[in-house]
Amino acid sequence: MSRTSSPSSKFPLYRSCDEHDGCGVGFLADVQGRARGDILTRALKALENLMHRGAVGADARTGDGAGVLFDVPRPFFFDWLAGETGDEPRGPVGVGVFFWPRQAPEKTRRGRELMGQLLRDRGITHFAWREVPVRPGVLGVKALDTRPHIEQLVVSVDDAADLRVADQLLYAARREFEARAREHQIDAYVASLSARTIVYKGLMMADALADFYPDLEQGWESRFAIFHQRFSTNTFPSWELAQPFRRLGHNGEINTIVGNANNTEMREEDLESDIWGEDLDHIRPVLQRGYSDSALLDNVVELLELSGRSLTHVMPMLIPQAWERTSGLSEDVRAFFRYHACLNEPWDGPAAILYADGEYVGAHLDRNGLRPLRYQRTDDGLLCASSEVGVLGLPAGRIVHQGRLGPGQMLAVDLEGAQVLTGDLIKSELARTAPYRKWLDEQMKVVSRPVDEENSLLRSRSSDDDDEERLLRRQLAFGYSREEKRFFFDPMTESGAQPVSSMGDDTPISVLSRLPRLLPTYFKQRFAQVTNPPIDPIRESSVMSLTIHLGRRRNWLAESPEHADKIELPGPVLTEAGLEELCDVAGGRVCRLDCTFVVAQGTSAMEDRLDALCEKAEEAVDRGCDILVLSDRGVDEHRAPVPPLLATGAVTTHLLRVGKRLRASLVVESGEPRDVHHFATLIGYGAGAVCPYLALETIRDQCEGGPERERCDLDNFVTSIEKGLLKVMSKMGISVLGSYRGAQIFEALGLAQEVIDRCFPHTPSPIGGIGFAKLTEEAARRHLRAYGPDRPSRLEDLGYVRFRRGGESHAWGPRLLGAMNQFRRGKDGAYEKFREASRQSGPFHIRDLMEFASSRQPIDIEQVEPIESIRSRFTTAAMSLGALSPEAHEALAVAMNRIGGKSNSGEGGEDSRRYRRRDNGDSAESAIKQVASARFGVTPEYLARAQELEIKMAQGSKPGEGGQLPG
């Protein structure tokens, strides 16, 4: 690919040199499984050609990470170990790459001793430590400062029957070492420990990898190599997080990582395997928390592969294609994916993954195909797959086949069997490894959405006064408002569309509201990671799925007919008839748990009820119930509802802590949920399905006409909620509801830590807020409004959508708007009126609670930092030239340089003429520079200046001082 290409006449806005996207990743392999000397050399060359895909530090030599994964060079390490110990290895030779803390030699010594003792305890006595030769001078300032001490453990696994068994033994030893090292506070990272593969990686630039590691210049032969240039988007760069990891290299994000990680922890209690035996105690926890999403995926891939599945099995199991609506799939292949949906939720998000274990090397694309992967095969048997075509510059005459992977597609090389495996071949072979279709037919039960005259909705509309009174009381107890019926229920039931309103919400955040707000309003969904493209749930409906499975999830490391013993729902929203059918189908597996509390018992009543609810949930699981229905139908004049989100979070967290969460699914039967956010939070914190019985009753009460219209309205409501869920998922880059369930992609605004710890662990709650006592009080206030002596005769208009006198406060109420209009017209004293109205209208946001602490005693001026010191911490945002005019961009730089602060050039840098001081002494040079690479559109002078400037500023100089470069 040309890096100096100009716009073409056909596409004048397109420049191929602008194709800078995400991480660079790829693999090379010989299709006959032959070890070749050019594989590693070419992989390093391809890595250089992917430099533009990696991030670069201001020193121009520190990257976000680069590395290679390839065959262990067995002849080299065999000879080295024999020479070092005086005894030839009698089994497979494995090599471990250890990153030790360079500034703590005592910890390194203790770590070596610990690892050696663990090996000897396992009967492995033939090993030695090798210090890896490195050239630190090629590193940038930041990479050099954080550089670990790197050693290799070379070990002969004499008792291993083959390389795979050797890797299983080494994996168990490594996991025990990692656990013991944490206990002894020994900082160590094992980049790889295997008899089949080895990893060389670090924070250097891609073109400096071989310069830093002289080992890579020895001409080692390998059958394959994976190469990776990292652009960090969700973690800070570090030596440990450079890729490839032990099994894979990844370009993209796993948007469901919180839910995937939590579900992985849930599975740990039920893990069983003859391969591991008592070593499972060391393997748990499976995940190395605190690492990136790619690293956590690698943890899981490694365990599943070493536990008996091939890598070509593990990848479509964890990241399945969009099989639900894809035409052309055989029923057996479809059964393979449907069966594995019973074992785990997809790790969903844009992902291009390269993987290898020494038996297979391959590439796998996510179900949306949102990351590029292209491949070329040459006439001498070399296969190259990469995020960009042309990374090797292969002559066209040598290429015999080329193409690209589409959504959900795979490509692999069987290194032992010496053949190329296409996705169709891989999946058809996987479908024959077990009778998945037969198991599903015998075990899985499907619940449809029944709509029939006799039983479809259980309760038809009635004009009986007692029924209407009962409905009103329940609506008041769950906080219903008259405006909801008009602005929410009407459009949802009439057309199945979502309610539409103007953008923005000027009501107070829930914790500052004077009205008792519902618990879901305290939660805000977080944004997806920065490089995610959005999904269009309408145009890309073929990749979206709302199918959900209920029931116990069994041992992750095994396969059996019982794994398919699930109940399948077409979507998460259940009518009452759907819930009834679910209970009929499940039979004795369903237990209903009461989620109401006695109001008269005081402010501790709700928390006491949560204690009892969690205890009963655990007892139900122990009795064999694998579907728990959390129901608040018991609301009456004495009992108020526990917020269903609180109950769901509490039961989920409790069952997780006692190791029983995956033995049961949760179904919420509640009068509270009626808009998309209510359903999204319930599912996001673990509910498998929701029956909004009071919303359905409310719709029936509004209906006019016969039963046919009534059913249509309810169907439209369900359709509207599920459309909304698809939209919410798509904004997060998530395609499958099974992955959204439990993903916890929210932050709480206004909830105390006691609530978070008990019900919503791992959820950020940055400002704290109300606890269980206040939540109980607010539920009691709604209950009193419903069943107290001052009960209204109809629903009130609470003014959440638009201003209503006596309803919710609005930041732009009539008084403030009137004052603003007077001020805009220039009337005398209008600004004072506007200011006074503004002061009296809050608080609405956290900032409204802040005020100057004028009552404090003045601080002695001698104890205050000089203004010059304070100003040195001022910075401007990274706004690129173009986002600002050249004049404004330079003015910001001049201003920051005058006060000793720092301006940011933004992406693309700045004109080198700004390096020279102006005649009046000002400098327009930005102290913070964002650059990609001199080889891709940034001049060598700019890179040199960036590196020079960082060194000067570290020494205390300012931009524009000392030395100038030619323009």
Q: How far apart are CA 354 and CA 412, in angstroms?
A: 9
Q: How far apart are CA 704 and CA 459, in angstroms?
A: 15
Q: How far apart are CA 816 and CA 590, in angstroms?
A: 55
Provide the pairing of β-strand 189-194 with 224-229: unpaired
Does the bond joining 244 to the residue before it have cis omega, within 30 degrees of 0? yes
Q: Which two tokens stand for residue 614?
A: 């969690």
On whether the CB atoms of residues 314 and 305 are closer than 8 A, the answer is: yes
List, as own/partner pairs, every contact residues 415-424 make where C-beta atoms lie below 8 angstroms and the sequence separation is at least 24, other chains included: 415/29, 415/33, 415/223, 415/224, 415/358, 415/359, 415/360, 415/361, 416/33, 416/359, 417/33, 418/31, 418/32, 418/33, 419/31, 420/31, 420/377, 420/383, 421/312, 421/360, 421/362
Phi and psi at residue 309, to the nearest 5°: -90, 150
Q: At what angle do helices 605-622 and 644-657 cross, to 10 degrees?
A: 50
**DSSP single-letter state for residue 763:** -
**DSSP single-letter state for residue 717:** H
Q: Which two tokens stand for residue 951?
A: 């060194």
CB atoms within 10 A of CB 37: 12
Phi and psi at residue 938, to the nearest 5°: -115, 135
**DSSP single-letter state for residue 92:** -
Q: How far apart are CA 660 and CA 658, in angstroms?
A: 6
**DSSP single-letter state for residue 524:** E
Q: How far apart are CA 150 and CA 130, in angstroms?
A: 9
Q: How far apart are CA 179 and CA 202, in angstroms?
A: 24
Q: How far apart are CA 95 and CA 79, in angstroms?
A: 13
- The residues with which 513 forms a beta bridge, in sequence order, are none
Nearest to 662 by CA among 555, 764, 771: 555
| CA angle in degrees (0–180, nearest 5) for 577-498-726 | 75
Nearest to 945 by CA among 59, 54, 56, 52: 59
Alpha helices in 361-520 (DSSP H): 423-431, 436-443, 465-477, 482-484, 490-495
Alpha helices in 19-87 (DSSP H): 38-48, 74-85
| CA angle in degrees (0–180, nearest 5) for 548-733-521 | 75
Left, alpha or beta for 16 (phi > 0: left; psi -120 to 50: alpha)? alpha
The DSSP result for 655-669, as a single string, is: HHHTT-GGG-EEEEE
Residues tagged active-site: 23
**Complete edge-to-edge strand list for the sheet that includes strand 24-30:** 197-204, 62-71, 224-229, 24-30, 382-386, 374-378, 399-404
Nearest to 647 by CA among 619, 664, 670: 670
Which helix (H) or strand (E) covers residue 100, if one does?
A: strand 93-100
